[in-house]
Amino acid sequence: MKRVYTADNRALAWHIKNILESNTVAAEIRNDTLHSAQGGVPVNECYPEVWVVNDSDEETARRLIEEQVESVVAEEAQWLCENCGETNYGQFELCWNCQAERSSQS
């Protein structure tokens, strides 16, 4: 297991996981549910982290993140999923949470 990214929100972490897995890189999210527990621990330890299951995938994962994620972070347009209400980044056409398609109206 290798950590390849620390996201500042869950939507981004899950998008990264989806990108990696669509490129045959097995990935896991850590710290996904700790938002309410930030009190006594350093903030960095509560941000959702993306880990690759196989250490040999680390290079590939970092390249994918560089190519596909950094442009997403810069992209300000976001949309709300009509199915589950989660926030999604503009360039993704499927909801990270429930895989619903983006509404053409948003």
Provide the terminal-to-terminal Cα distance of the chain, rounded to the nearest Å: 38
User: Among residues 23, 60, 68, 97, which is the contact residue for Zn ion, using CB under 5 A?
Assistant: 97
* DSSP state letters, 10-56: HHHHHHHHHHHHHTT--EEEESTT-GGG-TTS-GGGGS-EEEESSGG
Q: Is 78 in the site for Zn ion (CB under 5 A)?
A: no
Which region, judged by CB under 5 A, interacts with Zn ion, from 13-21, 35-43, 56-64, 78-86?
78-86
Instruction: Tell me whether strands 27-30 and 2-6 are parallel, antiparallel or unpaired.
Output: unpaired
Nearer to Zn ion, 54 or 99 (CB): 99
Interface with Zn ion, residue 6, by CB under 5 A: no
Positions in the binding site for Zn ion (CB under 5 A) = 81, 83-84, 95, 97-98, 100
